[in-house]
Amino acid sequence: MVVSPLNSLAGIAAARGDLGAASAAYETLLERCRATGQHLYVSFTLLALARLRARQGDDTLADRLYDEAIACGFNPWLSADAMVGQAAVARRLGDLTRARALLDRAEDQYRAADLPAGRPLVLAGLAWWALAAGCPADATVFAAQAASPSGDPATQLLANTAVAAVKAILTLAQQRESGPAYPILTDEPDVAALAARLARPPCRRPRPSRTPPTGQPGPGSSSAPVATRPTPPSS
């Protein structure tokens, strides 16, 4: 069986920053999994490949791969993770309405599957979405909610990055607005517009994640163990 070696090769290449080699390995892995009917691996591989294509700057291809990953429906966590990733792609492609809808769908899926650990992923995505939508006050709220300890290093790094991005943008805008003006600076209208948005109330009331915090069951939930993030099956 060549699935595990290919999966390991792709992961090592991605960790080293060789995105081309990682993408090629995942493409080969995906073809072989489909050819041999190993549907268990298809969802994992599609999600990994979509993330890689996004890192390579090909959001259009990443969007299609995320669509496939969501359609597979192998695991609710994987599908929700794909929705969060696709929301970021949609945001970068300029479709903020679709980006927000995907984040809302991901939140619903995490909640329905009793996966509160997905909450920081959605909130971090909402922080980036609010910045792109010109709602810095909302971004501040979402980023603060995302920063709650999650227990997962990768998720925590993602949340902390959203917090840092929001703080950096707000601080820079405030510093520029209160500092001296220089005729040579061509971005003054942009800075003034951002500062004006900072002074306004939020664009809309930030809707906190409907997923209850870890350890606090939501309405109608039972005391059953919380589901955990799936790991790639070994062959």
Residue 183: pLDDT band (50, 70, 90) is low
For the residues 168-173, what does the mean pLDDT come to? 81
pLDDT, tens digit, 9 for 90 and up, residues 19-43: 888 888 888 888 888 888 877 788 8
Q: Which residues contact 43 (CB under 8 A, 6 or more apart)?
A: 69, 72, 74, 75, 78, 79
The encoded tokens of residue 166 equal: 């929001």
The pLDDT assigned to 97 comes to: 96
Distance set, CA 65 to CA 2, 59, 187, 229, 234 (Å) = 22, 10, 37, 20, 23
User: What is the residue type of 48?
Assistant: A
Q: Is the pLDDT of residue 1 over 60?
A: no
Q: Are the beta carbons of 129 and 103 closer than 8 angstroms?
A: yes
Q: How far apart are the C-alpha atoms of 164 and 230, rounded to whole Å?
A: 29
pLDDT, tens digit, 9 for 90 and up, residues 60-119: 999 999 999 999 877 888 999 999 999 999 999 999 999 999 999 999 999 999 988 899
For the residues 148-170, what does the mean pLDDT come to? 83
Q: Are the beta carbons of 135 and 203 closer than 8 angstroms?
A: yes
The pLDDT assigned to 11 comes to: 74
What φ, ψ does residue 132 adopt, rounded to 5°? -65, -30
The pLDDT assigned to 214 comes to: 37
The encoded tokens of residue 196 equal: 């004006």
Q: Of 111, 108, 110, 140, nearest to 126 (Cα)?
A: 140
Low-confidence winner among 31-40, 106-115, 206-215, 223-232 (lowest mean pLDDT): 206-215
The pLDDT assigned to 187 comes to: 67
Q: How far apart are the C-alpha atoms of 109 and 130, rounded to whole Å?
A: 21
* Residue owning tokens 């069951």: 217
Q: How far apart are the C-alpha atoms of 7 and 42, rounded to whole Å?
A: 11
Per the prediction, the chain carries an average pLDDT of 79
Higher pLDDT, 191 or 146: 146
Task: Work out the number of other CB atoms within 10 angstroms of the CB of residue 229.
Answer: 14
The pLDDT assigned to 94 comes to: 92
